[in-house]
Every structure is written in structure tokens, then in C-alpha cells.
Amino acid sequence: MPTIPETLANWQKSLCPRIEVGGLYARNPIAHKWKATFRSLELRETAFWRIHDLLTQTYELHLSGRALGARILLRSAIETLATLIYLNQSTAAVIAGNRDFHAFSDLTARLLLGSRDKSTDHQAVNIISVLEKCERRYPGIMGLYALLSESAHPNCEGLCFGYSRIDHDNHVAEYTNYMTAMYADKLEPEMELCMFVFEHEYTTEWSQQFEQLEAWITENDERLEATKGGGGSV
């Protein structure tokens, strides 16, 4: 497997600079008259840009001995990875007949445009719920997220253990930054795991599911038109 700097450099060269709806429509005018397909592609590429940015900064902080900031950013990268995994899971559910297409279309809007501060018209999807669904495909992702969260939050590990040692016998508390010593040897393997899974979901899973979704929409277009509510298609 390439090193972390090599992977980040390769990702930098592969970032999508532009999406043209006209090109998608020419590829399959039936499948791409529906907003869900464009939103799926948009979500895939913005996730790639975001996780590349997050992991680049994670690695820079790691090299400079800033363990806390690195772990907080890696936690955010795991959330970004989980969003792509969940998109792919939901796409597969539509193709298998286990999820309504129009509900899936609404989900793509929430994943892409959702907010907590009401700055958009869409309510953001709860990331813990997303991670719980991702756990079915990647057992352990919730555990890793929980470990990173202990650093991100001022819990016992992220606060007391990270910055102090208490001598109960002598009733003395001493303070220093223990974060790098606690986490320095863990960060790179955790980053590599995140990168490996993202590459699989981005390159293999999304591509396969997207092509199957295009074919599925084409086959079911008449039924989708008959059952759509307001704004289902472009």
C-alpha cells in the first residue's frame, strides 16, 4: 500500500474539478432527468474533496506533534467516509427494491444540503445514525469513532488523562501535555484504514451502484413518473 503522503498526493491529482449536467444527460437522458443521480455524483466528489482536505491537515498536525488536533480532524474524516458509505448502502437498497426511490432522492438532498442551523431548507442527517448503519458493513467503525470522540470531547481521557497526572498519596496534581505520547503511534494506522475504506467506497462501490442505479431508473421510469410528488425530477 502507498504511504500516507503518496496516497494524499495521488488523491490531489484525482480530485474532480468540474461536473457538467449536460454530459450526464447525454450519457443517459432518462436516468439523469432525476435529481437524485446528480446529487449522488455531487456528494461523492465533495466527499472526496473534504476527506482529502481533512486528512492532509490531519497528517500535517501529526508530523508537528499536534496529536489532539490531528485526532479531531480524523474523527471528522470518519464522518465524511460514513456519509459516502451510507449513500452507497442506500443506493443498493433502491436497486434491491428495499427502499423507495423518492425517499432516496430526499435522502440525497439531506446528505448534500442538510444543516443544523437552518441555513438550508433540509434537516441534516444524524451522523450517529449513519455510523450505526455503516457498522453493518464495516464492523468496528463505531468503535474507532468512539475512541476518537474521547479525544475530541472534554471527557476523562480528553481532559484529565490528556493533561494531568494525580498523585493521590501525596495529594499533588502535575500538568503537562500527554496527548502525543498517548496517541502518536495510533494515528497513522487509523488514517491508513480510513483511506483504504474510502478508496474502495469511492472507486468500486459507488461506481458499481451508480451504473446499476442508472439502469434501474431507466427500467422503472414510467412507474417513477406516476408516483413522484413535487420536484422529483429536473
Neighbours of 90 (CB within 10 A): 20
Average pLDDT, the chain: 93
Answer yes or no: are the C-beta atoms of 227 and 102 closer than 8 Å. Answer: yes
Examine residue 66 and state whether it is found in any structural domain, yes or no. yes
Answer yes or no: are the C-beta atoms of 161 and 154 closer than 8 Å. Answer: no
Convert the pLDDT of each residue in 17-34 to its tens digit: 999 989 999 999 999 999
Confidence of residue 82 (pLDDT cuts 50, 70, 90): very high
The crossing angle, in degrees rounded to 10, of helices 67-95 and 101-113 is 160
Convert the pLDDT of each residue in 83-128 to its tens digit: 999 999 999 999 999 999 999 999 999 999 999 998 999 999 999 9
Residue with cell 441555513: 119
Confidence of residue 189 (pLDDT cuts 50, 70, 90): very high
Examine residue 159 and state whether it is found in any structural domain, yes or no. no
Examine residue 30 and state whether it is found in any structural domain, yes or no. yes
Answer yes or no: are the C-beta atoms of 71 and 182 closer than 8 Å. Answer: no
Confidence of residue 233 (pLDDT cuts 50, 70, 90): very low
Examine residue 103 and state whether it is found in any structural domain, yes or no. yes
Examine residue 158 and state whether it is found in any structural domain, yes or no. no
Examine residue 163 and state whether it is found in any structural domain, yes or no. no
- Is residue 80 pLDDT above 50, yes or no? yes
Q: Output the nine-digit C-alpha cell for 186.
A: 495510533
Examine residue 167 and state whether it is found in any structural domain, yes or no. no
Amino acid letter, 130: V
pTM score of the predicted model: 0.91
State the total domains in the chain: 1
Rounded to whole angstroms, the Cα distance separating 232 from 223 reads: 12
CA-closest candidate to residue 69, choices 217, 206, 177? 177
Examine residue 15 and state whether it is found in any structural domain, yes or no. yes
Please give the residue range of the domain that contains residue 123: 4-151+184-227
